[in-house]
Amino acid sequence: MRNDVTVRKSIQNGLKKQQEPKREIIVNGYVYPSVDLNLIREISPDLTAINLFSYGITEDGDLLPLNDDELVSVLKENQVAPIMVLTSLTEQGTFRTDLLQIILDDENLQEKLINRILEEIRNKGLNGVDFDFEYVESAYKDKYAAFIEKTRNRLNAEGYMVTAAVAPKISADQKGLLYEGHDYAAIGKAANLILAMTYEWGYTFGPPMAVAPINKVREVLNYAVTEIPPSKLLMGIPNYGYDWTLPYVKGESKARILSNVDAQELARQKGAEIKFDPVAQSPYFNYTDEQGREHEVWFEDARSIQAKLNLVKEYDLAGVAYWNLTWPFPANWDVLENTYTVTKVV
């Protein structure tokens, strides 16, 4: 009898937990205009916004538009907010970091660029702009935050939003070009939403490791919430993995990027055992290729995604943002739907 009562209580508690309303969060992600539009249609119920990567800038404060009309149309048809991503992309398709400095040093160029951003947003029916400038020199950190704030004031007045992506810092005085120009407190005040790029610990030219190990993500969030209100903070999630050929040689090795679905299929084809690192909370496996070379693969699966999404609730964050949504990842959306309700703004 005692066992029956225990089982019934367990079932009742489980049902009660299932019936509790899910927390609502913001979910967005970056895409290139070349993304499969059918994929976007399929995942649109689970998206608040899409960041269109990317619009560039010129030395004279002009905007380099993106050929994204068809994608924007699909997003609006499916109640997903399209957001312009602003980077230092040039007409040649490369990134030029000094372009931002030129703009920041000239108030007139700033005004011209803000006007062009507004013009493009109005013409295309976009919902706002995302500042995604990396490698900002420390000498420009104050000017950069001030420019974001100036843009937000102009755009908010017309009902548009401004977001900003920041490097994964763990302290205010963290050294390195990637970090020094991103002042968490100042940018957190300047923009409506902040995306912490909590990924790329495992990266193309680095040694084999998880792309977004949960322990490293925690370090960033622990610092971020001391400088940025959690209600304005989006946690970055990678939608990809890497395949390293071993042995890793610094300065020579280059990992191959692959989708999470392809990673699991590769493990199946090679008969490799997928293991799960308890510290990184990430899956990985090893295999031998046709040339007899050993490989190590790190990627994301339902378990690692659940671990990351749990942090949103733990830190009371606004939501998440994926880099990037080019590849299908059905397990992610299953976990997301079981955990949260997605905010819709259009």
**Active-site positions?**
134
* Partners of 23 in beta bridges: 340
Query: Rounded to whole angstroms, what are the CA distances from 33 to 56, 59, 66, 89?
Result: 14, 24, 8, 15
Secondary structure string (H, E, C) spanning the chain: CHHHHHHHHHHHHHHHHHHCCCEEEEEEEEECCCCCHHHHHHHHHHCCEEEEEEEEECCCCCEECCCCHHHHHHHHHCCCEEEEEECCECCCCCECCHHHHHHHCCHHHHHHHHHHHHHHHHHHCCCEEEECCCCCCHHHHHHHHHHHHHHHHHHHCCCCEEEEEECCCCCCCCCCHHHHCCCHHHHHHHCCEEEECCCCCCCCCCCCCCCCCHHHHHHHHHHHHHHCCHHHEEEEEECCEEEEECCCCCCCCCCEEECHHHHHHHHHHHCCCCEEECCCCEEEEEEECCCCCEEEEECCCHHHHHHHHHHHHHHCCCEEEEECCCCCCHHHHHHHHHHEEECCCC
Identify whether the C-beta of residue 87 lies closer than 8 Å to the C-beta of residue 54.
yes
Closest CA to 198 of 259, 126, 270, 280: 280
Cα 118–Cα 121–Cα 125 angle in degrees, nearest 5: 145
Whether cis (ω within 30° of 0) applies to the bond prior to 324 is yes
Strands 282-288 and 275-277: antiparallel
